[in-house]
Structure 1
Amino acid sequence: MGNPPAHRAKKIFGQNFLHDQGVIRRIITSISPKPGDHLVEIGPGQGAITRELLKATGRLQAVELDRDLLEPLAQACGDLGELHIFNADAMKFDFCQLAEDGNLLRLVGNLPYNISTPILFHLLEQAHCIEDMHFMLQKEVVDRIAAGPGSKTYGRLSVMIQSRCKVSNLFDIGPGAFKPAPKVDSGFLRLTPYKDSPYDITDQARFSGLVTQAFSQRRKTLRNCLKKMIDAEIFEAAGIDPTLRAEQLAVEDFVRLANMACKTA
């Protein structure tokens, strides 16, 4: 057994295959896989991380859309442990079906840059069966996820993910670590869904809608952006200045505003 034969990256799948051994070691150290962990890899590609995870745990499940990679991947990993590959689209896949007897999943992946945000929102809906997530993403996306209030990169993605997960921006990865090399830098981050959330969100759908609308026109004040959803009395009851812009509110402010709107609905 060994590395799979050469596979030409497909632009349609946003494929950039990791090959830098130093980066791979850093990733595995950050994940710290152990026997008994229920690991699921999204987009294993040519198996650069897959092989190392299997060496550590002996068992791994993977979701791979490109069927041309399935057999080479299975051959490359066949001597390392039990690998079960699902030929499926991660954006439509029910990950919670893999969680057995309350054994939470540990997700790992190099997410395609062109669809990373939809995948993240899909996974947030399944956060109750996930222990943690370690992902390679475009650095710009990682920076947006980890941004705090007042930052130009702080927005809907920041608020929605931080309201459900602890965010750890671990390290940056240069283009040269991949083949073909992307035109942008990448980042590696850890998302840990809250077991006991610091945010008591009354209605998740209302909260999501409010955050989306608040950031829909960043230069406008909250009063103007939310005029169809929030009136002056709700702003006052929540202790939120309606002349502020969305980027000036912390996650807990959005939660308080949405919860207050629920009370008066």
Structure 2
Amino acid sequence: MSRRPAPAHDADGFRREAKKHLGQNFLHERGVIDKIVLAIDPRPGDRIVEIGPGQGALTLPLLDRLGALTAIEFDRDLLVPLAAAARAHGALTLLNADVLDVDFDALAGDTPIRLVGNLPYNLSSPILFHALAHAAAIVDMHFMLQKEVVERMAAAPGSKVYGRLSVMLQAYCAVTPLFTVPPGAFRPAPKVESAVVRLRPRPPTQVGIVDPAGFAQLVRAAFGQRRKTLRNALAGVADGAMIEAAGLRPDARAEQLSVADFIRLANLRAAA
């Protein structure tokens, strides 16, 4: 007697199989979910936008606390079962979109938003830079990412993992790693550990960057070839005299500079 094939969907209408090409790993561990919600600490009146709600592991407890939230989901197959699951918890507004196409400024309007999400590993850096471009419309961000990425985000100068991501994020945000999440908290289990991180955008007056585009260009060039000295890495961007005028050594390497060093050099260049 032949076995019946396992049903493709569970009792709630969600597909049992995650889509690998979308980097889907669905959070299911209740203790981890509760810990994330506690870290977010949603308050009445908060406007929370969730990136990649998946099967609603975070969405539903957040709805229980807030009564309403917006979620951005790319996978059309998740929309109907997620909307159905949310009805008993609150008002869920679902946007079927690629998050990189979403204008967070327009979404926020006059009320800044709070971003949360379990970000797909293959898109984490582009999503972080996209959020950074809309930092003025964002109160804070709580993201779950690959642990290795969180370590890069929070790295200090001199660290092997200190680089462009570290400088760009720390220039505009306070970056606080919160806790590690084991692979078994997800279905399917990824091959690496994850971590939850909090980002709080700094007020523009605290950032002090005169030309954001010029700053980004300088940081990208400095870390483009890590083994090169600043004099060589920044050729065509900032000469040796300008590097020295910023109080830096032209023979230093990018990973030796603090975030404040990069800002000072970029502002000197912008004023030239």
Alignment partner, residue 158 of structure 1: 166
Alignment partner, residue 23 of structure 2: 14
Q: Relative to structure 1, is the Cα distance of residues 47 and 3 closer, same or farther in structure 2, using a 3 angstrom cutoff?
A: farther
In structure 2, how many angstroms separate the alpha carbons of the residues matched to 1:197 and 1:158? 20
Q: Is the 8 A contact 1:3 1:76 kept in 2?
A: no
Give the drift of 1:231.
1.3
In structure 2, how many angstroms separate the alpha carbons of the residues matched to 1:173 and 1:196? 33
What secondary structure, in the 3-state scheme, does the structure 2 residue paired with 1:91 have?
A: helix
Could you give the per-residue CA deviations for residues 29-70 of structure 1, whole angstroms, max 9, x where no partner exists?
000011110010000000000000000000110000000000
Give the drift of 1:198.
3.1
Q: Structure 1 residue 138 and structure 2 residue 146: aligned?
A: yes
In structure 2, how many angstroms separate the alpha carbons of the residues matched to 1:247 and 1:126? 26
Q: Structure 1 residue 242 and structure 2 residue 242: aligned?
A: no
Task: Summarize the alignment of residues 200-215 of structure 1 with structure 2, pairs less than 5 Å apart.
Answer: 200-215=208-223
Q: Structure 1 residue 216 and structure 2 residue 221: aligned?
A: no
1:62 to 59, 71, 77: 71
Give the drift of 1:235.
1.3
1:119 to 127, 135, 138: 127
What secondary structure, in the 3-state scheme, does the structure 1 residue paired with 2:214 have?
A: helix
In structure 2, how many angstroms separate the alpha carbons of the residues matched to 1:99 and 1:6? 30
CA RMSD of aligned residues (A): 1.3
Alignment partner, residue 5 of structure 2: none
Give aligned pairs, total: 262
Alignment partner, residue 251 of structure 1: 259
What secondary structure, in the 3-state scheme, does the structure 2 residue paired with 1:171 have?
A: strand
Q: Is the 8 A contact 1:45 1:69 kept in 2?
A: yes
Q: Structure 1 residue 228 and structure 2 residue 224: aligned?
A: no
Alignment partner, residue 263 of structure 1: 271
What secondary structure, in the 3-state scheme, does the structure 1 residue paired with 2:148 have?
A: helix
Alignment partner, residue 178 of structure 1: 186
Alignment partner, residue 88 of structure 1: 97
Q: Is the 8 A contact 1:137 1:186 kept in 2?
A: yes
Give the drift of 1:255.
0.5
Q: Give 1 or 2 for the bigger CA radius of gyration.
A: 2
2:44 to 35, 43, 53: 35
What is the one-letter code of the residue matched to 1:189? V
Q: Structure 1 stretches of 5 or more lacking a match?
A: none
What is the one-letter code of the residue matched to 2:269? A
Give the drift of 1:261.
1.1
Could you give the per-residue CA deviations for residues 208-258 of structure 1, whole angstroms, max 9, x where no partner exists?
000000001111111110121111221121111111100000000000111
Tell which deviates more after alignment, 198-207 or 48-57.
Answer: 198-207
What is the one-letter code of the residue matched to 1:53? L
Could you give the per-residue CA deviations for residues 182-201 of structure 1, whole angstroms, max 9, x where no partner exists?
01110100010112553311
Q: Relative to structure 1, is the Cα distance of residues 3 and 36 closer, same or farther in structure 2, using a 3 angstrom cutoff?
A: farther
1:128 to 122, 136, 140: 136
In structure 1, how many angstroms separate the alpha carbons of the residues matched to 2:206 and 2:52? 32
In structure 1, how many angstroms separate the alpha carbons of the residues matched to 2:246 and 2:11? 57
